[in-house]
């Protein structure tokens, strides 16, 4: 039986991935390097240190990569002032699950100050009984650590948790943690490998409360 629902943030609750892509292109233009959609999408679900480590050469070395990341954030927050939106059904799903007695957790690769800044305008941070952000877990997605740490904070066994994700790395993390994974694709369509790791694929968060209720009903009958 599912007792807790653990959410990714970017591209799952808040519609930030498209803003991030725009910000990376603006940064590339400003700093004189080349970037493409494939590279930007490969960043999804990873922490800042991991991205800098893996892509330092492409961004001109570690120091220049760190500067690029900071500039990307500046552009992203400038865009967010007028363009930041919740993903469809986000508030409704969170409030419905909370009202139904599910424990809610936030497990995001974004740093805590970034996550807070993205959620505060919508008044949703208070719904989460526990949160784990950025490098607060021992290892980044696709490792399961961030989900295992969040479940422990909530006092719930991994097998009693559902994970809600949009990214490949997040799906891998949730599956590796031994949790039920609900995938709601955002910018990238899932591969057969990613689909095989998911319990359900949904069109939007509007479908999530009913999908979890159905899963629990099936578990009760088995």
Secondary structure of residue 4 in the 3-state scheme = strand
With beta carbons less than 8 A apart as the criterion, state whether 45 and 167 touch.
yes
**Cα radius of gyration (the chain):** 17
Active site residue 99: no
Among residues 10, 15, 145, 186, the one annotated as catalytic is 10
Q: How far is CA 216 from CA 13, 63, 161, 210, 221, in A?
A: 23, 49, 11, 10, 9
Among residues 8, 15, 145, 186, the one annotated as catalytic is 8
The DSSP call for residue 33 is: -
Distance CA 62, CA 7 (A): 31
Place of tokens 């790395």: 169
Active site residue 186: no
Q: Which residues are catalytic?
A: 8, 10
């Amino acid at each position: 039986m599912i007792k807790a629902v653990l959410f990714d943030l970017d591209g799952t609750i808040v519609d930030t991935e498209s803003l991030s892509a725009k910000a990376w292109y603006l940064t590339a233009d400003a700093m004189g390097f080349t970037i493409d959609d494939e590279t930007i999408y490969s960043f999804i679900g990873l922490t800042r240190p991991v991205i800098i480590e893996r892509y330092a050469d492409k961004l001109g070395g570690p120091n220049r990569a760190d500067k690029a990341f900071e500039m990307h954030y500046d552009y992203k927050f400038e865009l967010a002032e007028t363009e930041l939106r919740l993903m469809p059904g986000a508030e409704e799903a969170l409030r419905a699950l909370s009202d139904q007695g599910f424990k809610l957790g936030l497990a995001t690769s974004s740093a805590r100050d970034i996550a807070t800044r993205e959620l505060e305008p919508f008044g949703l941070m208070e719904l989460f009984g526990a949160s784990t952000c950025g490098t607060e877990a021992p290892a980044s997605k696709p490792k399961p650590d961030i989900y295992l740490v969040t479940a422990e904070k909530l006092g719930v066994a991994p097998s009693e948790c559902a994970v809600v994700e949009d990214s490949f790395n997040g799906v891998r993390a949730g599956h590796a943690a031994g949790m039920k994974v609900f995938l709601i694709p955002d910018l990238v369509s899932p591969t057969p490998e990613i689909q095989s790791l998911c319990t359900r694929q949904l069109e939007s968060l509007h479908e999530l409360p009913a999908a979890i209720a159905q899963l629990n009903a099936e578990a009760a009958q088995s």
